[in-house]
A and B are shown apart, each in its own frame.
Chain A
Amino acid sequence: MPQRDHLTVTVQRGGPDAPMRPQTFEVPAYDNQTVLDVVSWIQQNADPTLTYRFACRVGMCGSCAMMVNGVPRWTCRTHVNKVLDGNAIEVGPLRNLPVIKDLAADMDPFFDKWVTAEGRHHPTRTRQEEIAPVDPQAEERQAASAGIECINCSVCYSACDTVAGNPDYLGPAALQRAWTLYNDAKDADRDAILDAVSGKGGCHSCHSMGSCTAYCPNELDPLSAIAGLKRATAKRFFGGRK
């Protein structure tokens, strides 16, 4: 590959007060450069007013996701040379969320839906009681464990066209969380979870197009988790219990 010394980087600027508009920068190219490095370079060397968000820089915190050439990605672990289109990249705020400013999307609707989907623990014991042992080999536990590495980055939520078309749709991450808790031996209110995910905007709104699973940076599989909820809610509807 020919050695490039500069990248042409277009970032989306704007927010609620100013309409979004693209702005292009020439950014020096380095080996092993991430998209977050590029955005940081612009903010530190070209335009200090550029707004974006990150924290851990190692793929743990889920705060740095942005649209990169039309695909939602965790920018701190996305190498520039994996996504370059010719010599250019285009970076924008996550899709399907309100924009705070420039590259920082407002994550509130995303997190609110975790709560709406009953994505919270319903304890079986108090802190005074002994901790119940968990069998890591149990089938149920394996289903739960499959989803627990979610970093709340909202990449799947931005990738999902059902979210784009239906503002009430809870979205892949919140539904996957509900499925995880549903399979958790230490969760005491599975009916509340099924109630929360079987209504309007719940798991049955999902069209199994799989963009969530295709783009999740942690290689999780919300598509299959949501299919699990579809089966569980349908079983309950027809009078069966798991």
Chain B
Amino acid sequence: MKVARAHPLWLAYLLHRLSGLGLAVFLPLHFWVLSYALNDAAKLDAFLTLTEMPLVKAAEFGLVFLLAVHFFGGLRLIALEWLPWSAPQKTWAAAAVAGSFLVSTTFLLQAI
């Protein structure tokens, strides 16, 4: 029998697992490319011109997205497990974080 389990916390768990694995695959590549800065600066510059390509731009967005998802997912888990809060307290805390994130990124985007 197919198991049905698509409730919000389970989906959040799946997202965290997938983003964590995605980052784990990406990080070694990331450091490998950065190592060129020390060994072979010309090669690094050649590689960086690649980042102008739309496909690479899209992939970069994907990585930042993964990191953001995993970062907030990780903070969510830490709060969930380490702060013995009641359900309404959690709702208010989440709303406060989301609100301040919205306001601060709006300012950030206007600044740059």
Hey, which chain B residues are within 8 Å of A214, CB to CB? Answer: 7, 9-10
| CB-CB under 8 A for A210 and B7, given A228-B84, A231-B84 | yes
Hey, which chain B residues are within 8 Å of A208, CB to CB? Answer: 9, 13, 77, 80-81
Any A CB within 8 A of the CB of B103: no
In the complex, what distance in Å separates the CA atom of A12 from the CA atom of B9?
29
Count the A residues whose beta carbon is within 8 Å of the partner chain — how many? 23
Hey, which chain B residues are within 8 Å of A207, CB to CB? Answer: 13
> Which single residue of chain B is at the shortest CB-CB distance from A91?
B1
Hey, which chain B residues are within 8 Å of A12, CB to CB? Answer: 1
Contact of B81 among A69, A95, A209, A230 (CB under 8 A): A230
Any A CB within 8 A of the CB of B92: no
Within 8 A of B (CB), among A186-228: 207-211, 213-214, 223-224, 227-228
Any B CB within 8 A of the CB of A172: no
Hey, which chain B residues are within 8 Å of A231, CB to CB? Answer: 81-82, 84
Task: Tell me the minimal C-beta distance from A75 to chain B in angstroms.
Answer: 14
Inter-subunit contact B10/A209 (CB<8 Å): yes
Inter-subunit contact B10/A211 (CB<8 Å): yes
| CB-CB under 8 A for A209 and B9, given A67-B1, A70-B1 | yes
> Which single residue of chain A is at the shortest CB-CB distance from B7?
A214
Number of contacts between A and B (CB, 8 Å)?
53
Any A CB within 8 A of the CB of B30: no
Count the B residues whose beta carbon is within 8 Å of the partner chain — how many? 15
Any B CB within 8 A of the CB of A102: no
Any B CB within 8 A of the CB of A14: no
Within 8 A of B (CB), among A108-139: none
In the complex, what distance in Å separates the CA atom of A228 from the CA atom of B82?
8
Task: Tell me the minimal C-beta distance from B10 to chain A in angstroms.
Answer: 5
Contact of A210 among B1, B4, B9, B82 (CB under 8 A): B9
Hey, which chain A residues are within 8 Å of B12, CB to CB? Answer: 209
Any B CB within 8 A of the CB of A184: no
Interface digits, A53-96 against B, CB 8 Å rule (1 contact, 0 not)? 00000000000000101110000000000000000001010010
Inter-subunit contact A161/B84 (CB<8 Å): no
Question: Which 4 A-B residue pairs are closest in the complex by CB-CB distance?
Answer: A210-B9, A70-B4, A209-B13, A227-B81
Contacts A70-B1, A227-B80, A228-B84 known; list 15 others, CB within 8 Å.
A67-B3, A71-B4, A92-B1, A161-B5, A207-B13, A208-B9, A208-B77, A208-B80, A209-B10, A209-B13, A210-B9, A211-B7, A227-B81, A227-B82, A231-B81
Can you show 16 pairs from A to B with CB atoms below 8 A apart?
Answer: A69-B1, A69-B4, A70-B1, A71-B5, A90-B1, A92-B1, A161-B5, A208-B13, A208-B80, A209-B13, A210-B9, A213-B9, A214-B9, A224-B84, A231-B82, A231-B84
